[in-house]
Structure 1
Amino acid sequence: MQCNSCSVAAIKFEIKLEGETNLSALQIVIDHLERREIEVISKGSKLQMDEIGAREFLDFCSDLLDVDQVLFRINQEAWQPLEEMPQVFATEWIDDVIQHERLTCHYQPIVAADESIFAYEMLARFKNEDGSMIYPNEIFPAAKSRGRLYALDRVCRMTAVKYAAALKGEKAFINFIPTSIYSPEFCLRSTISLSEQLGVNPKSLVFEVVETERVDDIDHLKKILTYYREKGFDYALDDVGEGYSTIELLADLKPKYMKLDMQYVQNVAEDVEKQRVAKKFLAKALEIGSIPLAEGIETREDFDWLKQSGYQLFQGYYFGKPAASPLYDQHQEV
């Protein structure tokens, strides 16, 4: 059984009125919605309704209420100003993308020092109903606006596992957003089940924490990673830069792989400050027993500098752009 957060269930709106003007008009608002045959639940200064009701509320109340003192939230998430509500309506298209699973995965190679293929990162590619591409910088803000990050992250993970099965045992790096997983035992159960169903060896999957530096609840992240480790999967920390100020934190997370943020990789062969960060990162990775991976490599010079410095894995356009099928059949353990 899926939870409402991981499926595309109808959005429930909660609206909170504040201020004397708004509170005095509360009953007028309720009466109007009920005349429109919209189910509304009133609890003090708060109203609960579905999306149709929220649209009607917004249309009716724009002139009636002091909109600066009206807040709303969806699916028990954070309160937002009323002016953000139209954006929730405007991104309704994301529901259809998720519900009909209109996405595929592309493969980007991760190579060893001798440039043989070590693994592939699975990168989601989304499509409109007419087949045109939707870019990730459109997808994720839309999902966040409509409270669909849980559902989007799940469908991305499941699709990546399906595409990883085609690699026949070669490693696949699969992204996930830790803030979109509230209970690893429940939220990740379907991912584990699918990998077992497809005969994918857990050791061939590496779950990659994206937006690593933005994770506020480290204890929650540790709970997720512990769950993955117990199930036999490896995991990586993505976009690591200078934000992790202590070895203790990284050692506590125990990642198998650490990916150096591309902002410190590109032009590192010539930039002394980037070299400082890259060497500090490398020392951290080796000290805690993680495999260092530099991503975003676009030139031979940067690759050579990083390889000579001691980096073990590499990723970037220099070795291959994301493609609809894997590049090679080579495989090397690191």
Structure 2
Amino acid sequence: MECNSCSVASLKFEIRFEGEMNLSSMEQIVSHLERRAITLSIKGPVLQTDEKGAKEFLDFCNHFLETDKVAFRINREKWQPISELENVFNMEWIDDVISNERLICHYQPIVTETEEIFAYELLSRFHNEDGTTIYPNEIFPAARSRGRLYALDRVCRMTAVRHAVALKNKKAFINFIPTSIYSPEFCLRSTTNLANQLGVDPKQLVFEVVETEKVDDVDHLKRILSFYKEKGFQYALDDVGEGYSTIELLSDLQPHYMKLDMQFVQGVATDVYKQEVAIKFLAKAFEIGSIPLAEGVEEQADFEWLKQQGYKLFQGYLFGKPAAAPLKEKEYQV
């Protein structure tokens, strides 16, 4: 069974009224919606309804209410000004992308210091029904607007696990957003079940924390990573750099892999400041037993400098861009 957040179920809107004028208009609003056979309920100053009701309400609201004193939220997420409601309706196309799983994964190689393929990062690529590309900078704001981040993250993870089958003994790095998982035991069960069904060895999968710098609820992240570790999976922290919240947190989380943010990789061969960050990062990785990975490598000079310092894994256009199929190279024993 899936929860409403992890599937593309009908949205549930709550609309909150403030101000004497707005509160006094509630009875008239309810009557207006009921005449149009809108399903709704009232709890104090909050009206609850479905998307059809929210659309009908917005038209009424713009003409008769003090809009700066009306707020809404979807599926019990954070409250937003009513001015954002129209945007929620405009992003309805994301529901079709998720429910019909209009995405595939592209493979970007991760190599060793001898340029042998160690793993691939699996990157989601989205498309419309007519096959045209939908870019990530469109997908994620749309999902966030409609409260679909849980559902989007889930379908991306499931698709990536399916694509990992083609990698055989290569590792697959799979992105996930910690805030899109409210309960590791429940939200990740389908992912682990699918891996088992497809015969994917848990040791092959590395779940990569996206936007590591923006993690606020460390305890929640710990629960997620603990669940993954318990199931035999590995995990990585993405985009780690000098601004990472606390160096102690790295020791606490004990990631199997640490990815140095590309802003400290590109040009590192000639930039003293970037070199200092890269060396400090490397020392911390070795201290906690994590494998250091430099991402965004595009120049041979940067690759050579990082190798000399002791970096073990590398990712970037120098070794290969994301592609629809894994590269055909000799097998590398992990």
Q: TM-score, normalised by structure 2?
A: 0.98
Question: 2:62 & 2:15 partners in 1: Cα distance?
Answer: 14
Question: 2:118 & 2:169 partners in 1: Cα distance?
Answer: 11
Question: 2:314 & 2:173 partners in 1: Cα distance?
Answer: 13
1:110 and 1:314 in contact (8 A); partners too: yes
CA displacement at 1:174 relative to structure 2 = 0.4
Q: Report Cα offsets for 1:63-101 as digits up to 9, x if no partner.
A: 200000100000000000001111110110000000000
1:97 and 1:128 in contact (8 A); partners too: yes
Structure 1 pair 92–245 and aligned structure 2 pair: CA distance change class (3 A): closer
Question: 2:306 & 2:314 partners in 1: Cα distance?
Answer: 9
Question: 1:76 & 1:205 partners in 2: Cα distance?
Answer: 33
2:11 and 2:50 in contact (8 A); partners too: yes
Please tell me whether residue 162 in structure 1 is matched to residue 201 in structure 2.
no
* Equivalent in the alignment of 1:243: 243
Structure 1 pair 333–261 and aligned structure 2 pair: CA distance change class (3 A): farther
CA displacement at 1:248 relative to structure 2 = 2.2
CA displacement at 1:116 relative to structure 2 = 0.6
Question: 1:332 & 1:278 partners in 2: Cα distance?
Answer: 27
SS at match of 1:172: strand
Question: 1:212 & 1:317 partners in 2: Cα distance?
Answer: 22
* Equivalent in the alignment of 2:141: 141
CA displacement at 1:26 relative to structure 2 = 1.2
Structure 1 pair 293–331 and aligned structure 2 pair: CA distance change class (3 A): farther
Structure 1 pair 100–293 and aligned structure 2 pair: CA distance change class (3 A): same
1:102-121 equivalence runs, <5 A: 102-121=102-121
1:119 and 1:331 in contact (8 A); partners too: no
State the 4+ residue runs in structure 1 displaced beyond 2 angstroms: 243-248, 328-334
Equivalent residue letter for 2:222: K
SS at match of 2:64: coil
Please tell me whether residue 22 in structure 1 is matched to residue 22 in structure 2.
yes
1:2-17 equivalence runs, <5 A: 2-17=2-17
Please tell me whether residue 290 in structure 1 is matched to residue 302 in structure 2.
no
2:238 and 2:260 in contact (8 A); partners too: yes
Equivalent residue letter for 1:241: G
* Equivalent in the alignment of 2:131: 131
* Equivalent in the alignment of 1:179: 179
2:13 and 2:73 in contact (8 A); partners too: yes
| Aligned residue pair count | 334
Structure 1 pair 267–175 and aligned structure 2 pair: CA distance change class (3 A): same
Q: Report Cα offsets for 1:76-133 as digits up to 9, x if no partner.
A: 0000000111111011000000000010000000000000100000000000010000
Equivalent residue letter for 2:185: E
Q: Name structure 2 gaps, 5 residues minimum.
A: none
CA displacement at 1:321 relative to structure 2 = 0.2
Aligned-pair identity in percent equals 72
SS at match of 1:318: coil
CA displacement at 1:232 relative to structure 2 = 0.5
Q: Report Cα offsets for 1:34-64 as digits up to 9, x if no partner.
A: 1111111011110000001000000111020
1:117 and 1:328 in contact (8 A); partners too: no
1:275-286 equivalence runs, <5 A: 275-286=275-286
Q: Report Cα offsets for 1:245-295 as digits up to 9, x if no partner.
A: 543211110100000111111111121111111111111111111000000
* Equivalent in the alignment of 2:195: 195
Please tell me whether residue 233 in structure 1 is matched to residue 202 in structure 2.
no
Structure 1 pair 246–72 and aligned structure 2 pair: CA distance change class (3 A): closer
1:204 and 1:233 in contact (8 A); partners too: yes
Question: 1:167 & 1:151 partners in 2: Cα distance?
Answer: 25
Question: 2:56 & 2:286 partners in 1: Cα distance?
Answer: 58
Equivalent residue letter for 1:90: N
CA displacement at 1:331 relative to structure 2 = 4.2
CA displacement at 1:189 relative to structure 2 = 0.5
2:169 and 2:333 in contact (8 A); partners too: no
CA displacement at 1:190 relative to structure 2 = 0.5
* Equivalent in the alignment of 1:302: 302
Question: 2:324 & 2:245 partners in 1: Cα distance?
Answer: 38
Question: 2:213 & 2:333 partners in 1: Cα distance?
Answer: 28
Question: 1:299 & 1:142 partners in 2: Cα distance?
Answer: 35
Q: Name structure 1 gaps, 5 residues minimum.
A: none
